[in-house]
């Protein structure tokens, strides 16, 4: 619980000194896992929380928050800082109004994986760094952290802060293995076209078009979205129709190609557990392999591989199916 106290203390300190007017952080929900983003003020810090269930990326909320008056303090985990930088590059948020505090993250947990262990009544979940201590059904069990990691944390891209005015790190964060990130994409690439089609048909046909992946995405910040136009002919979903969901997911991923920081929020919020990050990651892999290594949000820059070109770029037929 040490980190939570440090974080809360930092928020109180900034609010008391008047350096900031509001704090954007996580608020405790009804159950042990549903911590959600919330705005805190000097008079109201009830329910403030930071633990292993604070997966939501707060960067996107700054788009609206930084339009309001006053300064704001935001807590960002290492991967969230990339989204923050990307939004600053796109002039979507006002950097001057924001104080960024980087927070230690050992990987967030997925409550579905805990429930899948088969407990009837879960009383308490505690963070013991490498192990997670679960008190349930009158007994205490220790489970390895890796087994319970959220889908967005399984292939962590980096534990380095891309931007931070201050950081709160108690325990050292282990740098993830960079090569493992694209292993699933590579496996899919090795399959035949038919196998891949079956795989994606199976996954994408689960889509209920709730638009959660779009709404949570820190790169999707258009005020008018193509999918909200009911004259476009692609707004609803027809029964037994394989086209609709493919078009939606291709265009959703294509619109953020080159800007997607691979934060994995889309897969985390998907109620049908579709591995949407694999679509985004394919674009990232193609960009890396063909147009040079690129990580969106690493720095504040205008560079974006999709609005850029070189005279020696490969031809489409050289790239497709490689």
- The bridge status of strand 131-136 relative to strand 122-128 is antiparallel
Q: Which residues contact 91 (CB under 8 A, 6 or more apart)?
A: none
Distance CA 28, CA 140 (A): 23
Q: Which is nearer to other proteins, 138 or 316 (CB)?
A: 316
Taking CB under 8 A as the criterion, the residue among 207, 287, 296, 297 binding other proteins is: 287
Contact 134, 114 (CB under 8 A): yes
Say if CB 162 and CB 85 are below 8 A apart.
Answer: yes
Contact between 242 and other proteins per CB under 8 A: yes
- For other proteins, the binding residue among 250, 272, 273, 292 (CB under 8 A) is 250
Q: Which listed residue (199, 209, 216, 295) binds other proteins by CB under 8 A?
A: 199
Question: Does 311 help bind other proteins (rule: CB under 8 A)?
Answer: yes
CB 304 within 8 A of CB 255: no
Q: What is the DSSP letter of 233?
A: S
Q: Which of 45, 168, 188, 225 forms a contact with other proteins (CB under 8 A)? A: 188
Count of Cβ atoms closer than 10 Å to residue 281 Cβ: 23
Please state, in angstroms and rounded to a whole number, the distance separating the CA atoms of residues 262 and 140.
35
Tell me: does residue 189 bind other proteins (CB under 8 A): yes
Q: What is the spatial distance between Cα 141 and Cα 116, in angstroms, rounded to a whole number?
A: 14
Does residue 296 contact residue 199 with C-beta atoms inside 8 Å?
no
8 Å CB contact between 301 and 258: no
- Which residues ranging from 31 to 50 are in contact with other proteins (CB under 8 A)? none
Burial 144-155 (b: 16+ CB within 10 A, else e): ebeebbbbbbbb
User: What are the structure tokens assigned to 72, written together?
Assistant: 């704001």
* Residue 115 interacting with other proteins (CB under 8 A): no
Number of residues that bind other proteins (CB under 8 A): 48
Q: Of the ranges 18-26, 38-46, 119-127, 284-292, which one interacts with other proteins (CB under 8 A)?
A: 284-292
| Residue 230 in contact with other proteins, rule: CB under 8 A | no
Report the residue from 178, 198, 206, 303 that binds other proteins according to the rule CB under 8 A: 198
> Interior CA angle at 108 toward 83 and 126, to 5°?
150
Comparison of 170 and 314: residue with beta carbon closer to other proteins: 314
Between 11 and 279, whose beta carbon lies closer to other proteins? 279
Q: Which of 264, 261, 263 is nearest to 298 (CA)?
A: 261
From 49-57, 132-140, 216-224, 300-308, give the range in contact with other proteins by CB under 8 A: 300-308
Among 279, 295, 296, 301, binds other proteins (CB under 8 A): 279
x/- site string to other proteins, residues 94 to 113, per CB under 8 A?
--------------------
If one asks whether residue 229 binds other proteins (CB under 8 A), the answer comes out as no
Q: How far is the CB of 171 from other proteins (least distance, A)?
A: 38
Of the residues 127, 282, 299, 300, which one makes contact with other proteins according to CB under 8 A: 282
| Site for other proteins contains 315 (CB under 8 A) | yes
Number of other residues whose CB lies within 10 A of the CB of residue 59: 30
201 binds other proteins (CB under 8 A): yes
256/103 Cα distance (integer angstroms): 26
CA nearest neighbour of 155 among 269, 101, 243, 79: 79
Q: Is 200 in the site for other proteins (CB under 8 A)?
A: yes
Q: Does 197 bind other proteins (CB under 8 A)?
A: yes
Chain contacts with other proteins (rule: CB under 8 A): 188-189, 193-201, 226, 238, 240-244, 246-247, 250-251, 253-254, 257, 279, 282-283, 286-287, 290-291, 305-311, 313-317, 319-322
């Amino acid at each position: 619980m040490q980190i939570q106290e440090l974080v809360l203390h930092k928020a109180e300190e900034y609010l008391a000194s008047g350096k900031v007017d509001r704090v954007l952080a996580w608020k405790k929900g009804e159950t042990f896992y549903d911590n959600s983003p919330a705005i805190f003020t000097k008079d109201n810090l009830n329910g403030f929380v930071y633990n292993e269930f604070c997966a939501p990326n707060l960067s996107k909320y700054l788009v609206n928050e930084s339009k309001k008056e006053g300064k704001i303090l935001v807590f960002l985990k290492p991967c969230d800082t990339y989204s923050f930088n990307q939004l600053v590059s796109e002039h979507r948020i006002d950097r001057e109004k924001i104080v960024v505090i980087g927070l230690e993250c050992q990987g967030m947990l997925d409550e579905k994986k805990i429930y899948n262990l088969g407990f009837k009544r879960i009383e308490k979940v505690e963070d013991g760094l490498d192990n997670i201590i679960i008190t349930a059904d009158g007994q205490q069990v220790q489970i390895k952290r890796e087994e319970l990691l959220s889908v967005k944390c399984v292939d962590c891209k980096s534990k380095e802060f891309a931007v931070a005015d201050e950081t709160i790190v108690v325990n050292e964060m282990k740098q993830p293995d960079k090569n493992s990130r694209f292993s699933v994409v590579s496996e899919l690439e090795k399959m035949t076209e038919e196998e891949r089609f079956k795989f994606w048909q199976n996954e994408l046909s689960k889509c209920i078009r709730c638009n959660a992946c779009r709404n949570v995405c820190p790169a999707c910040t258009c005020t008018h979205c193509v999918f909200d136009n009911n004259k476009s002919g692609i707004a609803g979903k027809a029964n037994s129709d394989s086209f609709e969901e493919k078009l939606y997911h291709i265009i959703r991923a294509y619109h953020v190609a080159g800007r997607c920081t691979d934060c994995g929020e889309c897969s985390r919020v998907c109620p049908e557990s579709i591995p949407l990050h694999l679509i985004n990651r394919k674009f990232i892999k193609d960009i890396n392999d063909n147009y040079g290594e690129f990580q969106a949000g690493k720095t504040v820059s205008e560079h974006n591989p999709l609005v850029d070109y070189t005279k020696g770029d490969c031809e489409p037929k050289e790239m497709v199916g490689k």
